[in-house]
């Protein structure tokens, strides 16, 4: 079965009601809608929309392996052509003005599929590519793909000596000092970079036109950066590595390649999944082909079949996702349904809860290579991922299970307790929590030539830390003290959130866009765990949310009117960002550009359903800290959700509000516009019924 896609499944049939529903009607409609999406096995699963890069790379992979005839390549072509924007490029989020690397990837795929460079589609794309500096200004992962096709020189790709894989976890530096997603790419890439293959397609592909300065004049080698001593150190080191390669002096080369092969094979799931995200899957399959594995080999066959799970094929087009999110989707849908009045022992919730219990990770994953203590007990993001449970999903699943009643509740409580013990072990030294690892914070790694996404590490973040503390509060609220973290761990987490609050009162959001996400999470955590000791922080956060609401002519929390527009005349962000005058609809919205420009905190030219729901959840959590203007703000936000709900109980959301790699990769979760507004409306109704909304 295909994952839920709000556009494809419902966009043409679900219209807005002529009159907004009442609060109870909206909640009931939303419940019915979400229940209709549950899979027979018990889970919920929606599409993760990213950008065309992954589909383009899949076309390339199938072509270089010679298996493109077995897959719906023509539908992938249709998808790529459909998603080109009027400016000629392809985007990483709605309205970004065109991303250089993404556009090059789409251009490459279309050329592979036989579209001539004289085609108007490619001419428009090429114009944008040249305006942004051409291929030499693109990101490293784009250059790697081009190097595999012989369209970029391997000397412009940083070296990854195979012996890097041999460094033990206790060494001053090892692979385990990089983020988990980096590890999954780097290990198979050591094989690819050692072999430096060039796959000759038939007909032969030439992409010289991508060089805006001309292929002959292009500087493809790694260059020193004036004044950046850290980056220059690694560029110099790369020159040394390349010199050694040219001399044929690479220590422990064969041993390193064998270890890379062993490491990768060991981490392939029985299902064929590797790491659970697309780039490691792509590079592992390429590395196997270089090691002599046939397409028919069971390892390669399972990996390719697993990649089908990333692929969403419909009647007219085909798209490849970056990841699969059933655990995450299921946890939040359960919570929204339980919070909105479904009985805790409702059959749908029980079935979902039993499915989640079966998915708990009980073996040590990659996190253990550095930590060397504690037992496993977390949950992952995907269907299959024994090696990489993450703290955020684990806390979310624990809260979902805590909200429902299963036939054997003791087993459920045992699973939550084991998860809490694992999360306690994963706390970082400065008090926060990261996604997949502990104390994975060597910032200098982002200065390496390979780190141009600035995502080489997995440091602790406000949103993950807040999720953990919210879990503590929810479980405590339910009276299960056995699963609460040690008092010192809680105190350290609270101290971390206090330190991270910014001057305006907001918090940065890493895995959701952006300050609205981080602020909402922090408020929900603080209000549950430390409402008295952190009252000032809660009040400041609530005031900030009111100030950035898209409602002109109302007074902010400080009593002064505000309009929530961007700076007069707009802002310049690589020439893409237009003047962001806010709508007058009572919602909230924040552009992905807020990661590039902090003056855009909480700002966008449109409101979105998920960000409005986050803001409402944060304000509603503030509770007794709310004043008159915060209450008015909540009322406006609720009206926005009611007025935008569609007749079938769903909401439409075109904008990307999920984080991947800030500034470089964003995600549109197709269920965010389903469960988050339901939770927000349900929590609002609870406060109204309790008589806590009047001021």
In this predicted model, what pLDDT tens digit does every residue of 392-427 receive, in sequence order? Answer: 999 999 999 999 999 998 999 999 999 999 999 999
Q: Which of 323, 312, 324 is nearest to 278 (CA)?
A: 323
In this predicted model, what pLDDT tens digit does every residue of 501-555 receive, in sequence order? Answer: 999 999 999 999 999 999 999 999 999 999 999 999 999 999 999 999 997 444 3
Q: Assess whether 392 carries a catalytic annotation.
A: yes
Contacts of 259 (CB under 8 A, 6+ apart): 162, 165, 166
In 3-state terms, what secondary structure has residue 80?
Answer: helix
3-state secondary structure 131-196: HCCCHHHCCHHHHHHHHHCCCCCHHHCCCCCHHHHHCCCCCCCCHHHCCHHHHHHHHHHHHHHHHC
Q: Are 302 and 316 in contact (CB under 8 A)?
A: no
Angle, alpha carbons 457-361-445 (nearest 5°) = 10
Q: Are 383 and 324 in contact (CB under 8 A)?
A: yes
Largest CA distance in the chain: 78
Q: Which of 478, 480, 473 is nearest to 497 (CA)?
A: 473
Helix (H) / strand (E) containing 339: helix 326-339
Joined together, the tokens standing for residue 48 give: 């993760």
Q: What is the dihedral of CA 369, 374, 378, 382, to 10 degrees?
A: 10
For domain 51-320, the CATH architecture is: Alpha/alpha barrel (1.50)
Neighbours of 643 (CB within 10 A): 16
pLDDT given for residue 552 in this prediction: 47
CA distance 644 to 215: 51
pLDDT given for residue 557 in this prediction: 36
Look up residue 21 and give its DSSP letter: P
Domain assignments of the chain as residue spans, ordered by start: 1-37+531-695, 51-320, 325-500
Contacts of 138 (CB under 8 A, 6+ apart): 100, 101, 104
In 3-state terms, what secondary structure has residue 101?
Answer: helix
**Cα 629 to Cα 299, 522, 557, 663, 682, distances in angstroms:** 60, 20, 5, 33, 21
In the block, tokens 């009647």 appear at 315
DSSP track, 462-479: HHHHHHHHHHHHHHHHTT
DSSP track, 205-228: P--GGG-TT-GGG---S----TT-
| Catalytic position from the list 177, 390, 392, 458 | 392
In 3-state terms, what secondary structure has residue 627?
Answer: coil
Burial class of residue 130 in the structure, from the number of CB atoms within 10 Å of its CB (0-12 exposed, 13-18 middle, 19+ buried):
middle
CA distance 379 to 362: 9
Joined together, the tokens standing for residue 452 give: 């141009």
Q: Which residues of the chain have pLDDT under 50?
A: 10-14, 17, 552-579
pLDDT given for residue 16 in this prediction: 52
Joined together, the tokens standing for residue 663 give: 């500034």
* Residue 73 dihedral angles phi and psi, to the nearest 5°: -60, -35
Q: Are 588 and 545 in contact (CB under 8 A)?
A: yes
Quick check: do 51-320 and 325-500 share a fold?
Answer: yes
Q: Are 348 and 35 in contact (CB under 8 A)?
A: yes
CA distance 215 to 70: 34
CA distance 551 to 571: 21
Q: Which of 261, 291, 304, 264 is nearest to 62 (CA)?
A: 304
- With both helix axes pointing from N to C terminus, report the angle between 462-477 and 487-500 in degrees, rounded to the nearest 10: 140
Q: Assign residue 553 a region: left if phi > 0, alpha if psi is -120 to 50, beta otherwise? A: left
> 0.85 cut: is pTM over it?
yes
CATH node for 325-500: 1.50.10.20
Q: Are 444 and 473 in contact (CB under 8 A)?
A: no
Q: Which of 340, 329, 403 is nearest to 678 (CA)?
A: 340
Neighbours of 647 (CB within 10 A): 15
CA distance 443 to 231: 12
pLDDT given for residue 579 in this prediction: 37
pLDDT given for residue 129 in this prediction: 97
DSSP track, 308-323: HHHEEE-SS-EEE-SB
Q: Which residues on neighbouring strands pair with residue 550, listed in sequence order?
A: 587
492, HSE (Cβ side, Cα atoms, 13 Å): 15
Look up residue 374 and give its DSSP letter: S
């Amino acid at each position: 079965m295909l994952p839920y896609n709000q556009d494809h499944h419902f966009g043409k049939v679900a219209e807005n009601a002529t009159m907004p529903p009442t609060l109870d009607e909206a909640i009931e409609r939303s419940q019915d809608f979400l229940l209709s999406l549950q899979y027979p096995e018990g889970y919920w699963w929606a599409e993760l929309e990213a950008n065309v890069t992954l589909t383009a790379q899949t076309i390339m992979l199938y072509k270089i392996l010679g298996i493109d005839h077995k897959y719906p390549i023509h539908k992938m072509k249709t998808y790529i052509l459909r998603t080109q924007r009027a400016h000629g490029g392809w985007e990483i989020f709605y309205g970004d003005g065109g991303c250089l690397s993404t556009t090059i990837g789409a251009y490459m795929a279309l050329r592979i599929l036989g579209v001539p460079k004289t085609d108007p589609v490619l001419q428009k794309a090429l114009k944008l590519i040249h305006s942004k500096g051409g291929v030499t200004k693109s990101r490293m992962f784009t250059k790697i793909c081009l190097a595999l096709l012989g369209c970029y020189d391997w000397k412009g790709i940083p070296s990854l000596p195979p012996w890097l894989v041999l460094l033990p976890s206790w060494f001053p530096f090892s692979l385990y000092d990089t983020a988990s997603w980096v590890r999954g790419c780097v290990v198979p890439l050591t094989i690819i970079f050692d072999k430096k293959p060039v796959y000759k397609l038939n007909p032969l592909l030439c992409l010289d036109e991508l060089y805006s300065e001309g292929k002959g004049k292009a500087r493809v080698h790694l260059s020193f950066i004036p004044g950046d001593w850290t980056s220059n150190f690694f560029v110099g080191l790369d020159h040394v590595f390349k010199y050694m390669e040219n001399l044929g002096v690479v220590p422990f080369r064969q041993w390193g390649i064998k270890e890379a092969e062993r490491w990768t094979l060991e981490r392939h799931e029985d299902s064929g999944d590797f790491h659970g995200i697309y780039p490691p899957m792509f590079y592992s399959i390429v590395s196997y082909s270089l090691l002599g594995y046939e397409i028919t080999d069971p390892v390669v066959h399972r990996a390719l079949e697993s990649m089908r799970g990333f692929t969403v094929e419909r009647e007219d087009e085909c798209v490849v996702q970056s990841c699969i999110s059933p655990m995450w989707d299921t946890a939040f849908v359960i919570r929204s349904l339980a919070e909105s009045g479904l009985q805790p022992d409702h059959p749908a919730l029980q079935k979902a809860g039993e499915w989640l219990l079966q998915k708990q990770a009980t073996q040590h994953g990659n996190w253990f290579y550095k930590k060397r203590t504690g037992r496993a007990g977390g949950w992952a993001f995907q269907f299959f991922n024994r090696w990489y449970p993450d703290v955020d999903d684990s806390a979310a699943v624990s809260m979902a299970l805590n909200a429902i009643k299963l036939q054997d509740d003791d087993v459920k409580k045992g699973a939550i307790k084991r998860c809490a013990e694992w999360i306690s072990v994963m706390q970082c030294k400065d008090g926060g929590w990261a996604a997949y690892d502990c104390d994975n914070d060597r910032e200098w790694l982002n200065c390496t030539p390979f780190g141009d996404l600035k995502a080489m590490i997995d440091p602790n973040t406000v949103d993950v830390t807040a999720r953990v503390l919210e879990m503590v509060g929810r479980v405590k609220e339910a009276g299960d003290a056995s699963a609460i973290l040690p008092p010192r761990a809680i105190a350290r987490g609270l101290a971390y959130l206090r330190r991270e609050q910014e001057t305006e009162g907001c918090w940065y959001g890493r895995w959701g866009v952006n300050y609205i996400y981080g602020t909402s999470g922090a408020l929900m955590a603080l209000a549950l765990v430390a409402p008295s000791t952190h009252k000032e922080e809660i009040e400041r956060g609530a005031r900030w949310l009111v100030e950035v609401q898209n409602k002109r002519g109302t007074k902010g929390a400080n009593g002064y009117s505000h309009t929530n527009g961007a700076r007069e005349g707009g802002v310049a962000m690589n020439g893409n960002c237009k003047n962001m005058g806010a709508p007058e609809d009572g919602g909230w919205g924040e552009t992905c550009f807020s990661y590039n420009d902090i003056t855009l905190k909480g700002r966008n030219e449109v409101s979105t359903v998920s960000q409005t729901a986050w803001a409402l959840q944060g304000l509603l959590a503030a509770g007794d800290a709310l004043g008159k203007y915060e209450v008015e703000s909540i009322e406006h936000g609720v009206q926005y959700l009611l007025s935008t709900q569609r007749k079938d109980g769903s909401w439409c959301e075109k904008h990307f509000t999920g984080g991947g790699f800030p500034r470089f990769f964003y995600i549109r979760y197709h269920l965010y516009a389903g469960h988050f507004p339901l939770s927000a409306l349900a929590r609002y109704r609870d406060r109204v019924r309790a008589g806590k909304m009047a001021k």
